[in-house]
Chain A
Amino acid sequence: MYTEKEEHHVLKPKSLHSFLAAFAFATGVSTGALAADTITIGVAGAHSGDLASYGLPTVKATELVVNDINEQGGINGMQLKMLAEDDVCKPEIATNTATKLVSENVNVVIGHICSGATKAALPIYRDANIIVMSPSATNPDLTQSGDYPNFYRTIASDDLQARTMVDFVTDKLHAQKVAIIHDKGDYGKGLAEFAKTFIEQAGKIEVVLFEGVTPGAVDYSSVVQKIKRSKADAVIYGGYHPEASKIVSQMRKKRLETAFLGPDGVKDDTFIKVAGANAEGVYATGPADVSQNPLTKKYRQKFIDQEGTDPGAFFNNAVAAALALTSAIEKAGSTDSEAIANALHNETAETPFGAIKFDASGEPIGIGFIMYQVKNGEYVQVQ
């Protein structure tokens, strides 16, 4: 209680300070002692502006987890406190946000929301040796560059779908030759390029065709003939479902039964509706269904009780970040960044996605994509 009051008063004009000091003295509590007894979790992200709907669910998720833990007596006897700072998803503002949080002596940070803002803010946290965990920044570089050892995330990185598809094609389908087709867009082409890189790095199988198609075209039969001539065992497609259903349909019409794999843009019921019988047997990656997980249900219900609406974007990821961080602090028994990092890498935490921990680069183990296949008109998980 005092903490909260003081927090407010500190921001008020100087005349209040003497009163505050007297108050603190009288109650026998000093600010310094308080700081040692609380763990401050910074929450940074877009809390206003165009992208506020991406950032606000994270604030709410952290608040729910923090209140939950405080009600149960806190972590190792210490109460949790949340400090939210807005970065509007802008890199130039995110550096200010980070500086502010560092100067407020936060112990860990949940955020930022957008990859660009996260990238701008990370060096500031790194220099202050503060652990940062984003529920939503998916840019592969953030972990893979090795520049930010203090960075973790509870969302799969952009290239993970490509990796899931490549692993599946190599290990499960035992394909030797793969054709990669994309729709020339950011999403599709990015994915296709990741898939190509992964296949070439592994060196086990061969990319026999890498082509972009024009979305909206009335006919893809020449590309289909090209796939046929390449003698590919599998087609990896980067793009959305309208083109995927046209290409698959034309492949089947040309009596080409090559396996077809799409990303989550294809794992859409419209795809099955439109491609009909031709959709049968098509593979697509998608996130695992976590709606039945007890933690998912619990926090979703809490959110609905308080806000009256469904939780928004990245809510589960944010709950997972808050739970993973608090559990790591508890297991580490201190707020020392190295101890927390150690716990994050070695101890699992229960989250809406199940038990997760983090690999050396900061990627979550246990949050990712799984393979689905169309069987009898619906997507079922491939065992």
Chain B
Amino acid sequence: MVPGIVAFTGKFFPHSFTLLRNVADIMDFFEPDYFIELLFSGLTKGAIYALIALGYTMVYGIIGLINFAHGEIYMIGAFTALIVSTVLSIYGFPLLAIFILAAVAAVVWASAYGYTIERLAYRPLRNAPRLSPLISAIGMSIFLQNYVLLAQTSDFQPFPALVPDFAFMEPVAHIVGSTDLVILVVSVIVMILLTVMIKFTRTGKAMRATAQDKKMALLVGINVDNVISITFITGSALAAIGGLLIASHVGQINFYIGFIAGIKAFTAAVLGGIGSIPGAVLGSFILGLTESFATGYVSSDYEDVFAFSLLVLILIFRPAGLLGKSTIEKV
């Protein structure tokens, strides 16, 4: 019966066999090993974007400001980690101690920058039109890039691998590296901690109140200035951790790394719904996976085209992003 059907279809549809072969080709094309490799590349990329996007989305969620200098805080965190780890490795500290001390130094230093930037560039403009702090943020970003360019160097600097190659990762090293794993785990942990902090702590409650209505928050006795400072410090600390981990992964830094990483992370935050913590992580993973699969199955020439087409599509159907709350503007 079956040969008969094949002969029959073959007679009337001479192309049916090529069609079948094409289906097999497509199955080959999605070969499972390759798919999994691309999946993990995408997840790693997503986790990298998420580490930066979380800081963006948090600041936006609380004060409604797109902090364009966030990418530069990430870059300064990476530079601090580089300087501290270089000094410590000269004194022969063990790798774990270097990692922890460099992370602490990067967090402290970057937080100080975040706090200062807010005091200098954003607080005086708090009651100005919305565009003014935005321009101030762009100015801060350019200033910090050039400051590091002049104070440090314009050359690329090698960044040490602060995460060692774990022995248990060796069998899967061709799919996902040790640093990638740490980045993945850290970005998820950070997301959970942030959500818990905002949902369940007093500071978190104060943050949400500030986000809802600044004047009202003041009336019920919340120190809005402090809350905003804490927001910036937390966001900067996250950026610094991101800086340290991502620079370990990439292996090199210069004064400009914050810009492109910042743009991508910002895109991810908008995709997921800016202001939403889980949204930033979801958006980052979607962006990372899109880029990875576009590269893998189409061409890396079109990686950005796919990523931004997806952004446009999602924003058409969900203007507030995937997990963003759509607010109705009162006119």
Number of interface residues of B (CB under 8 A): 42
> Which of A218, A223, A275 has most chain B Cβ within 10 Å?
A218
Q: Name B291's contact: one of A212, A222, A226, A275 (CB within 8 Å).
A: A222
CB atoms of B300 and A255 under 8 A apart: no
Asked if B256 lies at the interface with its beta carbon under 8 angstroms from chain A, I say: yes
CB atoms of A219 and B44 under 8 A apart: yes
Cβ of B252: which chain A residues have Cβ within 8 Å of it?
242, 245-246, 274
Q: Name B177's contact: one of A214, A217, A253, A270 (CB within 8 Å).
A: A253
- Nearest chain B CB to A223 CB, angstrom units: 5
CB atoms of A246 and B250 under 8 A apart: yes
Q: Name B261's contact: one of A218, A224, A241, A255 (CB within 8 Å).
A: A218
Q: Name B301's contact: one of A184, A218, A229 (CB within 8 Å).
A: A184
Nearest first, the 3 closest Cβ-Cβ pairs linking A and B are A216-B260, A222-B295, A221-B41
Known interface pairs A242-B252, A274-B156, A274-B157. Does A222 touch B177 (Cβ–Cβ under 8 Å)?
no
CB atoms of A246 and B301 under 8 A apart: no
Cβ of A229: which chain B residues have Cβ within 8 Å of it?
31, 34
Task: Give the complex CA separation of A275 and B250 in angstroms.
Answer: 10
Which parts of A237-273 form the interface with B (CB within 8 Å)? 241-242, 245-246, 249, 253-256, 270, 273
Cβ of B250: which chain A residues have Cβ within 8 Å of it?
218-219, 246
Task: Give the complex CA separation of A216 and B263 in angstroms.
Answer: 11
Instruction: Give the interface of A toward B (CB within 8 A).
Output: 184, 211-214, 216-219, 221-226, 228-229, 241-242, 245-246, 249, 253-256, 270, 273-276, 278
Cβ of B256: which chain A residues have Cβ within 8 Å of it?
216
- Nearest chain A CB to B156 CB, angstrom units: 5
- Nearest chain A CB to B178 CB, angstrom units: 9
Residue of B nearest to A226 (CB): B296
Q: Pick 17 A–B contacts, CB within 8 A, sort by A.
A: A216-B256, A219-B44, A221-B45, A222-B38, A222-B42, A222-B291, A222-B300, A226-B300, A241-B156, A242-B156, A245-B251, A249-B251, A253-B177, A254-B177, A273-B158, A274-B158, A274-B252
Task: Give the complex CA separation of A246 and B300 in angstroms.
Answer: 15
Task: Give the complex CA separation of A213 and B260 in angstroms.
Answer: 14
- Nearest chain A CB to B139 CB, angstrom units: 22
CB atoms of A225 and B37 under 8 A apart: yes
Cβ of B177: which chain A residues have Cβ within 8 Å of it?
253-254
Instruction: Give the interface of B toward A (CB within 8 A).
Output: 31, 34, 37-38, 40-42, 44-45, 48-49, 155-158, 173-175, 177, 180, 246, 249-252, 254, 256-257, 259-261, 264, 291-293, 295-296, 299-301, 303-304
Q: Name B249's contact: one of A218, A254, A270 (CB within 8 Å).
A: A218
Cβ of A245: which chain B residues have Cβ within 8 Å of it?
156, 251-252
Q: Name A226's contact: one of B180, B246, B295 (CB within 8 Å).
A: B295
Task: Give the complex CA separation of A226 and B38 in angstroms.
Answer: 9
- Nearest chain A CB to B175 CB, angstrom units: 8
Cβ of A212: which chain B residues have Cβ within 8 Å of it?
299-301
Residue of B nearest to A241 (CB): B156
Cβ of B41: which chain A residues have Cβ within 8 Å of it?
219, 221-222, 224-225
CB atoms of B44 and A274 under 8 A apart: no
Cβ of B251: which chain A residues have Cβ within 8 Å of it?
245-246, 249, 274-276, 278
Cβ of B249: which chain A residues have Cβ within 8 Å of it?
218-219
Task: Give the complex CA separation of A212 and B251 in angstroms.
Answer: 21
Task: Give the complex CA separation of A217 and B252 in angstroms.
Answer: 12
Given contacts A214-B303, A219-B48, 14 further A-B contacts (CB under 8 A): A184-B301, A211-B295, A219-B44, A219-B250, A221-B180, A225-B37, A242-B254, A245-B252, A253-B173, A254-B175, A255-B174, A256-B174, A274-B157, A275-B251
> Which of B44, B249, B250 has most chain A Cβ within 10 Å?
B250
Cβ of B157: which chain A residues have Cβ within 8 Å of it?
274
Cβ of A184: which chain B residues have Cβ within 8 Å of it?
301
- Nearest chain B CB to A279 CB, angstrom units: 10
Cβ of A270: which chain B residues have Cβ within 8 Å of it?
155-156
Task: Give the complex CA separation of A10 and B129 in angstroms.
Answer: 71
CB atoms of B296 and A221 under 8 A apart: no
- Nearest chain A CB to B212 CB, angstrom units: 35
Task: Give the complex CA separation of A278 and B249 in angstroms.
Answer: 13
Residue of A nearest to B36 (CB): A225
- Nearest chain A CB to B194 CB, angstrom units: 21
Cβ of B44: which chain A residues have Cβ within 8 Å of it?
219, 221
Cβ of B40: which chain A residues have Cβ within 8 Å of it?
221
Cβ of B293: which chain A residues have Cβ within 8 Å of it?
222
Cβ of A224: which chain B residues have Cβ within 8 Å of it?
41
> Which of B157, B291, B295 has most chain A Cβ within 10 Å?
B295
- Nearest chain B CB to A267 CB, angstrom units: 15
Cβ of B304: which chain A residues have Cβ within 8 Å of it?
214
Task: Give the complex CA separation of A254 and B70 in angstroms.
Answer: 31
CB atoms of A222 and B296 under 8 A apart: yes
- Nearest chain B CB to A191 CB, angstrom units: 16
Cβ of B254: which chain A residues have Cβ within 8 Å of it?
242
- Nearest chain B CB to A321 CB, angstrom units: 34
CB atoms of A218 and B300 under 8 A apart: no
Q: Name A255's contact: one of B45, B173, B299 (CB within 8 Å).
A: B173
Known interface pairs A218-B246, A255-B173. Does A223 touch B260 (Cβ–Cβ under 8 Å)?
no
CB atoms of A254 and B48 under 8 A apart: no
- Nearest chain A CB to B183 CB, angstrom units: 10
Task: Give the complex CA separation of A321 and B173 in angstroms.
Answer: 54
Cβ of A214: which chain B residues have Cβ within 8 Å of it?
300, 303-304
- Nearest chain B CB to A227 CB, angstrom units: 11
CB atoms of A276 and B260 under 8 A apart: no
CB atoms of A276 and B296 under 8 A apart: no
- Nearest chain A CB to B279 CB, angstrom units: 20
Residue of A nearest to B261 (CB): A218
- Nearest chain B CB to A322 CB, angstrom units: 36
Task: Give the complex CA separation of A141 and B41 in angstroms.
Answer: 41
Cβ of A217: which chain B residues have Cβ within 8 Å of it?
260
Cβ of A254: which chain B residues have Cβ within 8 Å of it?
173-175, 177
Residue of B nearest to A189 (CB): B301
> Which of A217, A249, A255, A275 has most chain B Cβ within 10 Å?
A217
Residue of A nearest to B299 (CB): A211
Residue of A nearest to B173 (CB): A255
> Which of B44, B246, B264, B301 has most chain A Cβ within 10 Å?
B301
Residue of A nearest to B42 (CB): A222
- Nearest chain A CB to B38 CB, angstrom units: 6
- Nearest chain A CB to B36 CB, angstrom units: 10
